Chains A and B, each alone.
Chain A
Amino acid sequence: MSVKQISVFLENRPGALCEMTKVLADEAIDMRAFSLAETSEFGIARILVKDVYKAVTVLKDADYITSVSEAVAVAIPDVPGGLHSVIKAVADAGINLEYMYCFLGGKSGKAFLVCKVADVAAAESALSAKGAVLVEQDELAEL
Chain B
Amino acid sequence: MNRALKKIIFTTVTLSVLCYIFLNDLLQGDWSVLSASWDNLETFWNESLWPPEWSMLEARKYPECGSSIGFFCSKAYIGMLETLKMAFVATIIGFTIAIFLSPFAAKNLTSAWVYIPMRIILAATRSLPSIIWAIIFVVIVGLGPLAGVLAMTFYTVGYLGKLQYEEMEGVQNSPLEAARAMGLSHPEIVANVVIPESSNNLLSQLLFMFEYNVRHGSILGLVGAGGIGFYLQFYLNFLMYKHVMAFIVVILVVVIIIDLMSMYIRSFVTEDGDVKRPSWSTIFLSPNQAKKYHHGKSEEE
Do the two chains belong together in a single complex?
no
